[in-house]
Structure 1
Amino acid sequence: MTELAENPTHVDALPLGPDSLVWKYFGDNRMFLIGPRPAVLQNMLAELGQGVRDHSVFFADTAARIKRSLPPIFMTVYGTDDDNAGAQVRDYHHHIKGELPGEYGGGRYHALDPDTYFWAHATFVEQVLYFADTFVKRLTREEKERIYLESKTWYRRYGVSERPMPADYDEFERYWNRMLDEVLVAHPTARYGVGYVTKGFPCPKAVPPWAWRLIAPIFNPIAAFLTTGGLPPRARELLGLPWSERQERRYQRFAAFWRSRPVNWLWDHLPMRLRYNKFARAGYARG
């Protein structure tokens, strides 16, 4: 990292592995604290939201879609350069194509279009940055740059076009802000994904209705708080999600509690099986 600090323009990417910050944060089980931030933001790109609407089981069985989609991404990150699931993730998307509605400009969309595919990846990269900076510790600029350069190695494992990929963290930050300010829309898929914020979460298939009636009054306010608080202000505005200054203060106090030294000390002394998901644990065990 001394070399990175001294010669930042000479470093194209950094490796993934036990010493990387992406490994440290991406498989951390505290990640649930950010809510569905990456999924919602992904679906606010019209091409991606339309692909999910036309081809995914997201609406019929949201849990099944998440269960199928996330493991290969974790295996891409926590695999090795020679043995990872990147090509598998890419190949899932070959058939996802169709026509955009006129309100989103019309024309064809394809999940493997470089700009569409990179946006999906960008939301996961920003997920790592947001989670760590909000709920673990305030990241330095150098740490943010390091995470981004590690994410370039991650993206290259998919074997897709690198054309839209920013060269460094400064460029990524500009890209991210432009997408939020100029490109993202309140696509129906994204609106559906946050509908429970105002309407309540539907009873999961695996939970008996009588049990859900007892759980929902507790679960729904927590889910709404984490979901809405965990989105960028611009996304909340586009999706019409209610959020007050008082709620923002509560959210910031909540985040500061998780970043506090005693909480981090306690978390760091828990067994590995509690701190990390199984994909991260497998990666660390392999070394």
Structure 2
Amino acid sequence: MPLDFDSAIREAVPMPVDDEITSTSPRLGPDSLIWKYYGDVRGLLGFQRIAGTENCIEQLGKAVEDHSVIFSDTLGRARRSGPPIMKTVYSEDPHHWGRTVRDFHRPIKGTVADGSRYHALNPELFYWAHATFVDQVLYVTDTFIRRLSHEEKVQIFEEGKTWYRLYGVSDRGQPQTYEEFLEYWEQMLDRFVPTRTIVYATGYIRKGVPGPRRIPAPVWRILSAPLNAFIRTVVVGTLPPQMREVCNLDWDAKKEKRFQRFAAFSRRINPLVTRLPLRALYLPWAYDAWRRVGVDPRPLMNTPTVVPAR
């Protein structure tokens, strides 16, 4: 297992790793499950899970508060952050994009409430941010696309290790097996706190989606009712219980039942969804990558992967 998180993260020491990059350096490709599922448009159903779980850890939430424009341009920040990470998986030069993402974080440092320091490139903090992306692939695929076998979950975790190496940051904080990852994930959930960042970022759930200025408030309340109902059932349903608690998001057995019904329906219609045009099924960076390699992943979407014996 990695070093103790609470003590290691307080070292606040950046630990970039600049290995020599060659044509044989590890990268992800069309034979990977992460390529197959990460860029699927249904991944957007997990947007609040990935953004929220990241920012429920005090040091990461404080880093976003101190160094980003989330409070003034929430959607803009998401649009700027997402593409470079997506290109780390799908571009022709993933090592370049991985190190670009890493270098964005070089100046991000500061202190938290108890006076201890943080640095975005401290391995424990940087790996936690990455772990939420691995979780997104695992969770969204298994919940909304199709059930994954244990072997496939192990494969996605192992591919996630290759993905992490593309960033060029020490892997000191990384679990080495899928079972260790599950244990690590549960321990991290128990560290969740209501950071200012995450409380602000989930305000639209508690208060309702804000409406355009040109639409009168009474009219918007009526128009937005179905959207808010969807968010408070499906979006909140994707969140770990620990996050719902620290964000004061209402949940009960009735909502859980509705959420599970929606998830089951989503999995059931997967054979129909995967008949959509490739451009409609994948986000642009993933679509471009599949076209570049000349592979159509749609026939594979409903076929469990056979993991070779080791």
Residues 87 and 94, structure 2, Cα contact 8 Å, conserved in 1: no
Q: 2:275 aligns with which of 265, 269, 274?
A: 269
One-letter amino acid of the structure 2 residue matched with residue 167 of structure 1: Q
CA distance, structure 1, for counterparts of residue 178 and residue 136 of structure 2:
14
Counterpart residue number, 2:292: 286
Give 1:79 shift.
2.4
The percent identity for this pair of structures is 48
Q: Secondary structure at the match of 1:190?
A: helix
Q: Give the superposition deviation at 1:80.
A: 4.4
CA-CA distance at 1:223 after TM superposition: 2.0
The one-letter code sitting in structure 1 at the alignment partner of 2:73 is D
2:130 aligns with 121
- Matched residue, 2:264: 256
Moved more, 185-194 or 115-124: 185-194
Letter of the 2:237 partner, please give it. G
Per-residue CA distance 1:199-232 (angstroms, 9 max, x = gap): 112236xx74458566422322222223211101
Helix, strand or coil at the partner of 1:36: helix
| Aligned twin of 2:76 | 64
> Within 1, Cα distance between the matches of 2:63 and 2:214?
32
Deviation of the 1:95 alpha carbon? 1.4
Confirm or deny: 8 A CA contact 1:34 1:226 kept in the other structure: no
Q: Which runs of 5+ in 1 are unaligned?
A: 1-13
Q: Of residues 209, 226, 241 in structure 1, which corresponds to 2:249?
A: 241
Does the CA contact (< 8 Å) of 1:203 and 1:212 recur in 2? yes
CA distance in 2, matches of 1:37, 1:240: 15
Cα shift at 1:198 = 1.5
Q: 1:31 touches 1:131 (CA, 8 Å); kept in 2? A: yes
Question: Within 1, Cα distance between the matches of 2:203 and 2:292?
Answer: 41
1:172 to 171, 175, 181: 181
CA contact (8 A) 1:18 1:284 kept: yes
Q: Which amino acid aligns with 1:150?
A: E
Please say if 1:73 is aligned against 2:85: yes
Higher helix share: 1
Counterpart Cα distance in 2 of 1:186 and 1:141 = 33
Distance in 2 between the 1:157 and 1:240 partners?
36
In structure 2, list runs of 5 or more residues that go unmatched: 1-25, 294-310
When the two structures are superposed, what TM-score results if normalisation uses the length of structure 2? Answer: 0.81
CA distance in structure 1 between the partners assigned to 2:104 and 2:206 by the alignment? 33
Spell out the pairing of 1:43-54 with structure 2 (5 A cutoff). Answer: 43-54=55-66
Superposed CA RMSD in Å reads 1.9
In 2 relative to 1, CA 100–20 (structure 1 residues): closer, same or farther, beyond 3 Å? Answer: same
CA deviation vs aligned residue, 1:34-53 (integer Å, no higher than 9, x gap):
24101001000101000111
Equivalent residues in 2 for 1:78-93, closer than 5 Å: 78-80=90-92, 84-93=96-105
Count of residue pairs brought into register by the alignment: 267
User: Is the 1:78–1:84 contact (alpha carbons within 8 Å) kept by the matching residues of 2?
Assistant: no
Q: Aligned pair 1:143/2:155, yes or no?
A: no
Q: Could you tell me which amino acid in structure 2 is paired with residue 174 of structure 1?
A: E
SS state at 2:170 partner: coil
**Contact 1:118–1:165 (Cα < 8 Å) also in 2:** yes
Report Cα offsets for 1:26-73 as digits up to 9, x if no partner. Answer: 100111222410100100010100011111111101110000000000
Report the secondary structure of 2:174's partner residue: coil
Local SS of the residue matching 1:147:
helix
Asked if 1:108 corresponds to 2:117, the answer is: yes
Query: Distance in 2 between the 1:18 and 1:266 partners?
Result: 22
1:198 equivalent to 2:206? Answer yes
Range with bigger deviation, 244-253 or 84-93: 84-93
Matches within 5 A, 1:8-23: 16-23=28-35
From the superposition, tell whether residues 141 and 215 of structure 1 become closer, same or farther in structure 2 (CA, over 3 Å).
same
In structure 2, C-alpha distance between the alignment counterparts of 1:275 and 1:22, rounded to whole Å: 15
Q: Could you say which residue in structure 2 is the equivalent of 1:160? A: 169
Q: 1:257 to 1:145 in 2, by over 3 A?
A: same
